[in-house]
Amino acid sequence: MSAPAHHRLHFLDRDHSILAFNERVLDWARRADVPLLERLRYLCIVSSNLDEFFEVRMAPHLAARKANEQRGPVTAETHDRVSAKVHALVAQQYAIYNDEVLPLLEKKGIKLVNHGERNPRQRRWVKEFFVREVQPLLMPVGLDPAHPFPQVANKSLNFIVRLTGKDAFGRENEIAIVKVPRILPRFFRMPPIKGSKQTHFVSISSLIRSHLADLFPGRQVTEFSQFRVTRHSDLAVDEEEVKNLRTALRKGLQQRHYGEALRLEVSAGTSEYLANFLLAQFALPEAALYRVPGPVNLVRLNQLIDQVDAPALRFEGYKAGWPLQLTPGQSYFDRLQRGDVLIHQPYESFDAVLAFLREAVEDPDVLAIKQTIYRTGAKSELMNLLREAVRRGKEVTAVVELKARFDEEANINYAEHLESVGAQVVYGVVGLKTHAKMLLVTRRENGSLRRYAHLSTGNYNPGTARLYTDLSYLTADDALTADLDQIFLHLASQNRLPRLNKVVMAPFHLHRAMLEKVEAAGTAAKAGQSARIVLKMNALTDEPLARALAHASQAGVSIDLIVRGACILPAQVPGVTENVRIRSVIGRLLEHSRVCYFQVNGQEDLWLSSADWMNRNMLRRVELAWPVTDPVLRQRVIDECLNAYLNDTRDAWLLQPDGHYVRAAGLGAGKTRAALHSAQASLMARYGSKATD
């Protein structure tokens, strides 16, 4: 029998959920208790997130709008609804920038000086700087039949100019385009004013707009605007048809900057004539036009933040402690023979993971190192260590994911460098992204071979490891390391994967295993047994898993979900998900760990994973989940990654049945934000203090 109409499950819209996540991030830019430069940085983060949203998610909506028809789940109306939500978010963003952050920065002695505010000395400096450093790099293009509209790269800064008068050949071509080279910094520090403590900056857009007339001698600039276009940037390569994936991706990368236009940003005061001209040029509807009262690319304000020397306007520095389970200088191999090690990053230092690999590289008894590479960051020490391992005669196998979004070029370069020194480089399985994070070391001990491994919920990237919360797991468990050996063999040879001992792997087992665990909890609850599920992840968008959770809720399972970003499952809908509570924690650090806890009739089962509960992770990627069986480590994960976040009252938001989020705890009379509980702040205090003990 089907559920009554008012009890049926209706999923939340994924795109609106992504935008709601950005609203929660934007809240940090509003908060008076957040240091001022960090508030500005959160504005930059939202802009960067919106860029990626358009680059990856918006193309189907725009196609439906242009065709005025339904294209799968999207229609012209979905484009307009999503666009309206983005417009509202952008309006809030620039209001915070102009009305709150900039005036407060000026009070602190940091000012972006526009042309009208510059004194004569500053104007002379700007003029000289423009002539010397900027003008030689600009090439204005007047449009005519021989000079069509130039190719404008994705997210690049440009100016459109309307002119009167005639050009050198007597023609009245009135439109010109000025492309601003990416090589030019977006903000410049101006010379100090004698007797003033203020630090003054000028933006590249303000600098150029003040001297546009100098680029068109003999003609008059009547209108102008900065503009920026965002293009579709998700690489699509038919892996079944290409003979060399690396070569095909390199060709695709060359075209990424010139994909389909999806969004046009212009200055707020741009004339209808210029705005319509650009919309027509990029074949965009009116809803795709964003008039912004400020820089068209707030992301680049990171450059200004980095130039300001004002520690009081930043978060207090945090030094990660050395992992509690490890002793500096002690052999990892000796330590792991006594039991598994858990590292909670970034509260505990990622340097310990690099130290594990470094010891493996330097140990003459280590014979082989195998590792997956998804995102490792620029100038990666990890890649240097792998090359050194090859130089020392060890067998090195690297499974490099070439299709890691926006890191494709870096990974192609890493693959080529590793191959050039003799490492065995493979690219995983055709049609699947290798998203699993694993490192396997094989060592000769007492005449036989023993394996040691590192597994992680996050990437091998020292930069993001200081900002993302993740769990690293070091082990010498024979069954677990044997599984990893079989997985590496499978990825390299593409032979059939044998039955694994402990690990569950996508796309083969993980989806089914998680469904079975949810369903088992529901069965237990129906039988009157205690049943609880607590999950922590970045996104929940897989419909079968979301539906299974709803069914478990209806059976009486108590369910708590900690989902940072997109979530399609509504919370606490009577008769549907009334036993499901969903919260999102947005803090100083980016929540990134994936933890799955199931309790059935008193028996606890806890898994760590590289996978979010998304269809792509479960069915189109190589992902891993592994159990934490050590009771002490299991309880530590429960305490630090689940209970601490379920009790967060400062940085947590609660999902409502209609898809809106509200704060987990309001600020009542006499209560300040500092008095509320923050899981991240508590963990930073606990582990950071260890570093100075």
- Residues annotated as catalytic are 435
Cα first-last separation, the chain: 63
Residue 481 · residue 452 · CB < 8 Å: yes
Determine the Cα–Cα distance for residues 642 and 655; give it in Å rounded to an integer: 17
Residue 543 · residue 568 · CB < 8 Å: yes
Residue 98 · residue 294 · CB < 8 Å: yes
DSSP state, 134? I
Residue 387 · residue 423 · CB < 8 Å: yes
- Burial zone of 252 (CB within 10 Å; 0-12 exposed, 13-18 middle, 19+ buried): middle
Torsion sign, CA atoms 25, 30, 32, 38: positive
DSSP state, 5? G
Residue 616 · residue 481 · CB < 8 Å: no
Pairing status of strand 531-537 against strand 341-345: unpaired
Tokens describing residue 248: 């095909």
Determine the Cα–Cα distance for residues 448 and 369; give it in Å rounded to an integer: 16
3-class DSSP state of 445 = strand
Q: What is the amino acid identity at position 568?
A: I
Other beta carbons within 10 Å of 72: 8
What lies within 8 Å, CB to CB, of 112 at 6+ separation is: 102, 105, 187, 200, 201, 202, 203, 206, 304
Residue 111 backbone phi and psi in degrees, to 5: -135, 135
Q: Which helix (H) or strand (E) holds 90?
A: helix 76-96
Alpha carbon of 439 to those of 87, 164, 192, 382, 541: distances in Å? 44, 64, 51, 11, 29
Residue 678 backbone phi and psi in degrees, to 5: -120, 120
Tokens describing residue 465: 């490891």
Tokens describing residue 596: 């799955």
